[in-house]
Amino acid sequence: MSWLIRTRRRLTLPGLALLGVAIVLILWTMWPTSHATWAAGPHAALPRTLTCEGPPGGTCAARNDVPLPVRYRPIGCVRRGPAVAYGHGPQRKEVALSFDDGPYPLTPSFVRMLRSNGAVATFFMIGEQVTARYRSTLLEELRDGDALGDHTYTHPDLVTAGGVQSQLQRTIGAIRGLSGYTPCVFRPPYGAYDSSVLRAAASLGLATIMWDVDPSDYTLPGVSAIERRVLAQVRPGAIVLSHDGGGPRGQTLAAYPGIIRALRARGYRFVTVPELLGFHGVYRRCVRDCEGAAIAGRPPPGSIVEPG
């Protein structure tokens, strides 16, 4: 009892103050989350979400949760009209460039050339060449606003060889399987078709596409000859035939920047073949599952947009 009396006598006012500070410090260290909230005050921002990228154990970056933007991925187009062969479009200041016989080693360069010159085109593809090697190229074409078309599976003369349904259907499957896009336009090899080819194509949702401008670039006449021939033949609503595959196509690739500049100076607008003919593009809304094929901005007016 005498010890307790002596201890109480030693706990003067300064001593009590020090003891209180010590207790507060102990409580402060025991609840770190609480003291962070107290320090920030009642109007502190809500906690941020940690988003980790890369393999497990990687670094995490704090960010505020914000909804990802909705984008639009091309998944096909829809033909309309009778089962006929289209050689040109309406008489408007529009021109549709088209390239046959790809995909081919130089096709990625054609895609980059079109993008750098602010133009689009339609690529008519040979089904057996539509392989995993070119998946990124097809997705790049879709992202840039180009259209994909059917050019049969093995490039036969359909009038003499027959097997039209199989040639077209296998190519549709190859393009759709690699890119998720279902084409609505078809170009017969060598321009060879008859009424049975037209009917078979239409039954598969394909419009048969010919052309009214042909620079015969496959004969390798030279860059200036290709440019001169295209510019001499183009009229409003023209469909221009050239090639990105089937042989060395460096001359064609080199000719088109000058062709595009000259036609633009004449007031022409570059469109795909489906757009020229008034066919409806089909798009799917996407957020994370766009597979690198989403276009910039919204689909053109009149497009069909499916939910994601």
Q: Among all residues, which ones are annotated catalytic?
A: 100, 243
Cβ partners under 8 Å of residue 15, min gap 6: none
Query: In the block, which residue shows the tokens 């502190």?
Result: 44
Cβ partners under 8 Å of residue 182, min gap 6: 75, 76, 77, 172, 175, 176, 205, 282
Task: Please tell me the total number of residues recorded for the chain in this structure.
Answer: 308
Cβ partners under 8 Å of residue 184, min gap 6: 76, 77, 78, 79, 205, 206, 207, 274, 279
Please give the structure tokens belonging to residue 178. 């690699």
Please give the structure tokens belonging to residue 206. 């394909």
Nearest to 182 by CA among 83, 93, 277, 304: 304
Please give the structure tokens belonging to residue 110. 């054609």
Please give the structure tokens belonging to residue 174. 């190859």
Nearest to 189 by CA among 170, 206, 208: 208
Helix axes 164-179, 135-144, angle to 10 degrees: 80
Distances (CA, A) of 217 to 99, 106, 127, 237, 283: 11, 15, 22, 21, 33
- Residue 171: count other Cβ atoms within 10 Å of its Cβ: 27
